[in-house]
Structure 1
């Protein structure tokens, strides 16, 4: 019996995770990426136990420890007066409760760990500088054409090619995205610039009227990552690499309580990036025949639960499990989709709701802040369902 062969379009975090999980399940992989030099733009990621358990199962624990930061807690604060609204322990309590750590990682560091692991496996072939222009399939094979004229064929194709997925467009046509009315700023600052700010090694979420601000450490505490989200009309560029005007960022957040104001002051004006946030509804279908989708290609998620990368990593583990259980590829892909759609849709919908809750104004904000301590128990139960999920056993 020949070794099954999968094509994976997209060598981001989701595509690499899928390549590794499938290769360790006996598949031969051709990973197709349109960029000439594989890299991952962006800044920080929060990798919660539901995803970190998958990365550890791939033998990546030592490599991740070399570049991760273990946050002590998640703190929620009022941007109006700096008051602590709630505090949830992370750190060792996460590992004890869920059997896996909560990690803060620079996106480029995680991508580098995954890419190095893929390059070390003989079953994985990486094809870079390869822009896919056509996807086709029949009852027994799937093929794709690359802009340079090369054609690749395999038993299975997974589109892990992000929010503007060509594979998704091929299967289901044009998407319908809606501008949320929010833009997000991001930046990374050397922690040495903030020594006098006394910022604890915790994730912090500051809630303000019509805006919120998140910060946490990366790379074993050497860097501090921030994401600042504000409501704004008339700017709808959906790009992680678009630079923004520092003065806009300063005008919006420069008078917030310390340490937010100190972070804004310490930010490099030439390295502040701004992107528009678009919302896409959950898809009713991900698969057709021998082709399916993974990660942002099928469930792009607003960044209000820190679960975008985690969901892609979960997808990879569940996909591999389904393909191990069934030799019939179309049936295995339908099972994968059925196992994943409800969970990822809930994450998408809750992330959308969080945007509204985080940005309350006036009496609604006052009521939210007042009720937050009493809601700790309910939040813990929700996190049990989120972080306690084990994609390796689905």
Structure 2
């Protein structure tokens, strides 16, 4: 498999999903990879995420499919509800593509799978390693260091994201049910997404438009009573689920631009460092996993490192820009009110009943994409 990456020294800054995935992909191609993570251990704050088939193909190609199946739950698709709990539309995404896995997993469990995979591939993981302005002395330094990336700043200078006017809560509750769908409850100026994870847990992300705001990041704790108060008018199973919340995080949602420069001759970025996104397409982690495979393939198949990184950016940027734009659009669509909401929900109900494949076909470009089939050279 290895061509030009064999024995190349690579430093990866950040031991999250993006960093560990790219480290594994590079190591499988013969690179000598060191991951530097500032935290004293590889843990992941936050809660759940969805891994759709486009990213699942990468993880399976890296030999992690079976391990991921052990810690995740399979999703059959998405159910859209109004805020009273009445179903608006059903997207049977898994049935549309038999054999393709839609997985729902706790972030911490995915990090554990990736850490084992990285160590087994020979990746050196250095914990408690704070990287400042002085970068590792390696021929290639990859920034997988998230929203406040040092490497992005070196490539693009200081940038200023803006607050969207939306604040999100994230929580976990116990759930031993066999509910196999992600569910979206849509109300005026707010919505809630929930799905079951492996290990008897349910993930809840609730978003509300409000004039005040919280800072970015998931470590800001809030009183669960504030979450319950914000969604007190929602029906269906939500009151019962929200009653179980005993701790929750809150953060403000900010819009970031896709980075203009993803690389120079020695530095490169991927994942949130390159293209942070709002969470309304469940593709943030997925895009990072796609990035990792494409970056490794380009570096392995194109001799000149700068040309390889340019090819990586050329392949990835149009796709991630489209996904980020789709997430921005959902931020509006989920929060409709008044006549616009009535019309939109009626249209979704009609499509779901009369032309379900047409409705689901809107997402084929996301889920049917195969990073492994991309012609990188």
Query: For the superposition of Structure 1 and Structure 2, which TM-score range results when normalised by the shorter chain?
Result: over 0.9
2:364 maps to what in 1? 384
- Distance (whole Å) between structure 1 residues aligned to residue 97 and residue 7 of structure 2: 37
User: 1:53-95, CA deviations, whole angstroms, 9 ceiling, x for partnerless residues?
Assistant: 111111112211111101223100110x32211111144x265
1:351 corresponds, among 315, 327, 337, to: 327
The answer to whether 1:297 aligns with 2:273 is: yes
- Alpha-carbon RMSD: 1.6
Structure 2 SS opposite 1:100: coil
Q: Is the 8 A contact 1:168 1:293 kept in 2?
A: yes
Structure 2 SS opposite 1:206: strand
Q: Which moved more, 1:162-171 or 1:199-208?
A: 199-208
Structure 1 SS opposite 2:363: helix
User: 1:273-315, CA deviations, whole angstroms, 9 ceiling, x for partnerless residues?
Assistant: 1111000122222111221110000100100000000000000
Q: Report the count of equivalent residues.
A: 366
2:343 corresponds, among 357, 367, 392, to: 367
The answer to whether 1:7 aligns with 2:6 is: no
The answer to whether 1:326 aligns with 2:274 is: no
- Distance (whole Å) between structure 2 residues aligned to residue 155 and residue 373 of structure 1: 55
Q: Is the 8 A contact 1:236 1:275 kept in 2?
A: yes
In the TM superposition, residue 349 of structure 1 has moved relative to its aligned partner by 1.1
State how 1:151-170 maps to structure 2 within 5 Å: 152-170=136-154
Q: Is the 8 A contact 1:55 1:61 kept in 2?
A: yes
1:308 maps to what in 2? 284
- Distance (whole Å) between structure 2 residues aligned to residue 181 and residue 94 of structure 1: 36
Q: Is the 8 A contact 2:13 2:144 kept in 1?
A: yes
Q: Is the 8 A contact 1:290 1:333 kept in 2?
A: no
Q: Is the 8 A contact 1:94 1:100 kept in 2?
A: no
2:23 maps to what in 1? 19
Structure 2 SS opposite 1:75: strand
The answer to whether 1:256 aligns with 2:263 is: no
In the TM superposition, residue 217 of structure 1 has moved relative to its aligned partner by 0.3
2:79 corresponds, among 75, 80, 83, to: 75
1:102 maps to what in 2? 102
Q: Is the 8 A contact 2:44 2:108 kept in 1?
A: yes
User: 1:83-138, CA deviations, whole angstroms, 9 ceiling, x for partnerless residues?
Assistant: 211111144x2652xx530000000000110011111222x111111111125xxx
Structure 1 unaligned segments of length 5 or more: list them: 136-143, 145-151
State how 1:1-394 maps to structure 2 within 5 Å: 3-79=7-83, 81-91=84-94, 93=95, 96=98, 99-122=99-122, 124-135=123-134, 144=135, 152-192=136-176, 200-220=179-199, 222-268=200-246, 271-375=247-351, 376-394=356-374
* TM-score calculated relative to the size of structure 2: 0.93
- Distance (whole Å) between structure 2 residues aligned to residue 90 and residue 381 of structure 1: 9
Structure 2 SS opposite 1:372: helix
* TM-score calculated relative to the size of structure 1: 0.90
1:138 maps to what in 2? none
Structure 2 unaligned segments of length 5 or more: list them: none
